[in-house]
Amino acid sequence: MLYNFTLHTKRMKLDEEDFINQYFGMELLETLIPPPIEQINVIMHNSTTNDVTVAVTLPSDLQKFSNHLKFNVKLKALDENETYWTENILIDLKKRNNVILIPLFDLKFAYTACQLKVRTKSKTSLELHKMWSDFKEYEFRTIARLPEMTPQICQNCFNVMDNGNVHVYWSEVPRFYQNGKNFEYELRIKNARGRVLERIRQNRTSFMLANHFNDTLTIDLYSINHIGSSSTFSSIQIAHENQKFVKIKKELLSDFGYKLSWKLRNESIFVKSFTVLWCRQKFELPNQCDSSISFTQIPRDRIEFYM
């Protein structure tokens, strides 16, 4: 609030008195603890997937003094851990029609629900938690865009069964990087001459190629959402080979987990490395994955792996 003061001064002389009056005004913001912000809106017009403008409406008692306030802005993706907040202290923000405009740049994820918190404090009050207003919270979703991340896949992310069927596996694109709704994977299956034999869209992170594919195949994996397809892709080449190169042994260790060990069926085979793939499954069935795979590469001189 704005206070007006009058200073009365009286000077005493012999047989007379001299009076001086001084008038002045003062804004007493040092002791102000503001009420919470009245309203928050996010302006999506002219925004991109990486920035938005937050419109903050102050209580009527504070609107004339917005230039004397500082703003504490906290932001994170709604489903992120509580420790992932980004935080900024902002001053001298633009004002339009009694609305404070807060620009937010470098938002991490497209088409993602975000949680926003804003509070305010007088610039001149003590830097103490109790001098801030309570937070006002708001949730909004960023604008969608084409997917950019493609599925992670490895050179050995497939298995050829005895009947000739080929199971192909890849890692899931995390939800924060799907950039839109209706996310899927598109497989473009090509023969050795580069001709596309089939296009398949699905949500799962594995696929079975039936035995009628007898050619050496290349599978290009694209990310797809409601806007369109990724401009890049992940790729794997599959040679139709039924020969088994290793014998695998699995042991359950009661105090740890599993130990996998293996040995070559033919010691004369040159091996660059081994790749171990694993996933979660409801039933112990060969090649049955009910989750995305994980994988790691093992040097050729190691023949065991602990999980």
Average pLDDT score over residue span 196-208: 94
**Average pLDDT over every residue of 262-288:** 89
pLDDT tens string 73-127: 999 999 988 889 999 999 999 999 889 999 999 898 999 999 999 999 999 888 9
Bigger pLDDT: 244 vs 175: 175
Q: What is the mean pLDDT of the chain?
A: 90
Is pLDDT at 23 greater than 70 in this prediction? yes
For 16-20, 72-76, 255-259, 282-286, which range has the lowest pLDDT when averaged over its residues?
16-20
**CA angle 86–88–91, rounded 5-degree value:** 165
Interatomic CA distance for residues 249 and 251, integer angstroms: 7
Reported as a single tens digit per residue, the pLDDT across 33-58 is 999 999 999 998 777 888 999 999 99
DSSP code at position 62: G
Q: Residue type at 79?
A: D
Confidence at residue 229, expressed as pLDDT on a 0 to 100 scale: 97
Structure tokens at 58: 């102050």
Comparison of pLDDT for 187 and 3, the residue scoring more:
187
pTM, to two decimals: 0.80
What is the rounded distance in angstroms from the CA atom of residue 42 to the CA atom of residue 99? Answer: 12
Please, which pLDDT band fits residue 214 given cuts at 50, 70 and 90? low
Q: Which residues pair with 87 in a beta bridge?
A: 74
Q: Tokens for 128?
A: 């103490």
Question: What is the SS3 assignment for 236-248?
Answer: EEECCCCCCCEEE
Q: What is the pLDDT of residue 74?
A: 96
Does 1 score more than 70 pLDDT?
no
